[in-house]
A = this chain, B = another copy of it.
Amino acid sequence: MVLTMQEFEFISWLQAQHVLTRPDIRVGPGDDAAVVMFAGKPLLVCKDLLTEEVDFRLVEAGEYAVGRKAMAVNLSDIAAMGGRPLWALLGIVAPPGTNLTELYRGAMECAAAHGAVIVGGDTNGWSSGLVLSVTVIGEPIREAVLRSGARPGDWLMLTGPVGGSIFGRHLNPTPRLREVVTLLDHVQPHAMIDISDGLGQDLSHLCTASGCGVVVEAERVPIHPDAVRLSNQTGRTPLDHALTDGEDFELLFAVRPGDGSALLEQQPIPLWHIGTFTTPDHGLLLCNEGTTAPLPRRGWQHRFGDGQ
For A257, the chain B residues whose CB sits under 8 A away are none
Q: Is there contact, CB below 8 Å, between A91 and B36?
A: no
Could you tell me the distance in whole angstroms from the C-beta of A55 to the nearest C-beta in chain B? 8
Q: Is there contact, CB below 8 Å, between B118 and A87?
A: no
Within 8 A of B (CB), among A85-102: 86-87, 89, 91-93, 96, 100-101
> Across the two chains, which residue of chain B brings its CB closest to A100?
B10
Does A233 reach chain B (CB closer than 8 Å)? no
Could you tell me the distance in whole angstroms from the C-beta of A67 to the nearest C-beta in chain B? 13
> Across the two chains, which residue of chain B brings its CB closest to A46?
B120
Could you tell me the distance in whole angstroms from the C-beta of A119 to the nearest C-beta in chain B? 4
Does A40 reach chain B (CB closer than 8 Å)? yes
Within 8 A of B (CB), among A108-167: 108, 112, 117-129, 131, 133, 135, 137, 139
Does A270 reach chain B (CB closer than 8 Å)? no
* Bound CA–CA A87/B44 (angstroms): 12
* Bound CA–CA A104/B34 (angstroms): 17
Does A53 reach chain B (CB closer than 8 Å)? yes
Q: Is there contact, CB below 8 Å, between A34 and B133?
A: no
Could you tell me the distance in whole angstroms from the C-beta of A104 to the nearest C-beta in chain B? 7
* Bound CA–CA A306/B127 (angstroms): 7
Interface-lining segment among A1-9, A175-183, A287-295: A1-9
**A interface residues with partner B (beta carbon < 8 Å):** 1, 3-4, 6-7, 10-11, 13-14, 17, 19-20, 22, 24-25, 27-29, 33-34, 36, 38-41, 43, 45-49, 51, 53-55, 86-87, 89, 91-93, 96, 100-101, 104, 108, 112, 117-129, 131, 133, 135, 137, 139, 305-308
Give 7 A-B contacts (CB < 8 Å), ordered by A residue.
A19-B117, A24-B86, A43-B137, A47-B133, A49-B133, A89-B135, A126-B305
